[in-house]
Amino acid sequence: MTDVQLVDALVEQIAPLLGGKPPEVQGAVLADLVAIWLAGHHVDGDADATRKLRAELLTEHCSVVRQLVEVNAKMLGTTP
């Protein structure tokens, strides 16, 4: 299984867990999961490097999310 196939399979499994829940709950769950993901990245013994790494990862993650919003909005028919 490729990474893309794994991502698609996990999204299909997770989406129903969030579907039908209030948007603020969905957002809080996703925020907590991203925070867990970021917290798992660290540079041993170097707090400044850890903060920099996490900031860079979050910036890149937000960039990918922005790109995916457009793709998913088209699929959902919610493009402005």
pLDDT at 6: 98
Task: Assess contact for 31 and 23: CB atoms under 8 A.
Answer: no
Q: What is the pLDDT of residues 14-33, one digit of tens each?
A: 999 999 999 999 999 999 99
pLDDT at 49: 98
pLDDT at 25: 98
**pTM assigned to the model:** 0.87
Q: Indicate the pLDDT class of residue 80, thresholds 50, 70 and 90.
A: confident
